[in-house]
Chain A
Amino acid sequence: MWTNRATTMVAIVTTAFTLACVGVFLLLYVNLLAAAGWLQDDVKIMVYLDERLVSDSVAEIEQQLRSDQAVASLLFISKEQALGEFKAQFPSESHLLEGLGQNPLPASFVVALSPPFHSPDAIYRWAERVRQVAGVSKVDYNQDWIDALAKVIHSIELVAIGIGVILSAAAVTIIANTIRLTLFARRDEIAILRLIGATTSFIHIPYLLEGAALGALGSALSLVMLKFMYELFRQQMRATGRFAGLDNLIAFLSPSVCLALIALGMGLGFAGSLVSIRRFGEAKA
């Protein structure tokens, strides 16, 4: 690496820019996914109870729901509370209910499901199961909203994977070309090593390690660039006063994701070297 300093530096910086693009999309992906997760956490399922249900049976249903591993939180709303909420939300329409003489609104449980049960299928299966419980008259939730949200998350994942694959291929190509230049510059040395009895692994391992080191350094540099851009972006948001509070919600990549990105860079560098060595080996065979 030290022998071809200029080529090595160009390769590290180019790889860093490529992987920084991967990082930008990863950052967007992580934050969009987190935002989608918050929206999913916000999905509430209404479990309406039978009008004639006695308080013991209500307690029994509550116990059954609380012991359900899919249920993250549970809130009981009595008939009176439901009426009070209706009046608070629609004060101009409250006379409609007064004309009926008795409270027509049923008691209900507002249920939030835990994250593993956030998919449209899981919510549907859970609602169908709860509908069968004696004393439950209706289970209601916004199916269209949940389906749309799931589609958005799926699209984000597909776009992130597509961009990740394209940019990773670019990083492999950049490193492969750098290693190819190094191999070409040292072709005489390699030929001599072969003639004096060096094994293929003795010749190849340094280049594979060099590729891995290039990838890891490029990746680390990309994270530094990304962190700088991230802090600059947050500072700009605070300074302009627009999207106030949003800057605290945007998260940087977690340490484990940063390590994974460095490992990815290392892997891509190794793969780039392998591609070059194979081609070089075939040319010399």
Chain B
Amino acid sequence: MALLEQVPKMIQLIHVSKRYDQRSALSDVSFEIGKGEFVLLMGPSGAGKSTLLRMLIGAEQPDEGQIFVHQKNVTMLRRSEIPYLRRKVGTVFQDFRLLPKKSVFDNVSLPLLVQGISSADIRRKVTEALRAVGVDHKRDQLPAGLSTGEQQRVCIARAIVNGPVVLLADEPTGNLDPALTSEIIELFKLINARGTTVVVATHDPLVMEQVNRRVLTLSQGTLLPERRVMG
């Protein structure tokens, strides 16, 4: 923890609670994640992992508490400011969420397109991102023509193409076999090694085995005592 105090905070939750009707999704959750950390957010389905990630990008608001991402108070952001937060936070989804009628290149270029980046810069950055995840040779194909692992790589390329400070991944290996899971985790480690803070929400023990990092565990919306996994 002494090391954490020396690095700038990238994510901070202070007494965050969220309820849906009578069910508590998160209850008094507080933690900090420093710049450049790789954190696993573990817990079974329904533990509140997805809710927490959605809160980090302003897609949900807590009933109580405050959330800071990259020194911005997400709970205080106006609706018009949320897109600018999301440009600093890359998101990877379990179901990939790729546009089926657009090519790999077009899918990955979307985050740059919405920021009004020039076509030349888009070409350069998309090529870099596709090379980083190893699917540059599939750039002209439609998502349906890719394997599951390749689709997840494209999703990761889209999340990192504009150089986010934080990468959030919600069950990124949920649809992958053990071999592909290892490949994707290695990819996250590479991205993290370049300085991006990575938060991976998963219930997959295989992921935990492969990551020698800090683990935050949620159980029924409550944060359990923190632990560090030694790989």
Contact = CB atoms under 8 A, between A and B. Distances in A.
B62 to A, nearest CB: 17
Contact of B114 (A188, A191, A197): A197
Contacts, number: 40
B114 A199 contact: yes
B57 interface: yes
A202 interface: yes
A189 B114 contact: no
A191 B79 CA distance: 15
A198 B86 CA distance: 9
Contact of A197 (B80, B97, B99, B111): B111
B99 A196 contact: no
Given A200-B80, A202-B114, A195 B99 contact: no
Interface in B59-115: 59, 79-80, 83-87, 91, 97, 99, 110-111, 114-115
Nearest to A191: B97
A192 B110 contact: yes
Contacts of A196: 86-87, 91, 110-111, 114, 158
A195 B168 CA distance: 12
Contacts of B115: 197
A198 B114 contact: yes
Interface residues of A, number: 13
Q: Which of A192, A193, A197, A202 has most B Cβ within 10 Å?
A: A197
A44 B15 CA distance: 88
Given A188-B97, A199-B83, A200-B80, A193 B91 contact: no
Interface of B: 57, 59, 79-80, 83-87, 91, 97, 99, 110-111, 114-115, 158
25 contacts: A188-B99, A192-B97, A193-B110, A193-B114, A194-B83, A194-B86, A195-B57, A195-B86, A195-B91, A196-B86, A196-B87, A196-B110, A196-B111, A197-B83, A197-B84, A197-B85, A197-B87, A197-B111, A197-B114, A197-B115, A198-B83, A199-B114, A200-B80, A200-B83, A202-B114
Interface of A: 188-189, 191-200, 202
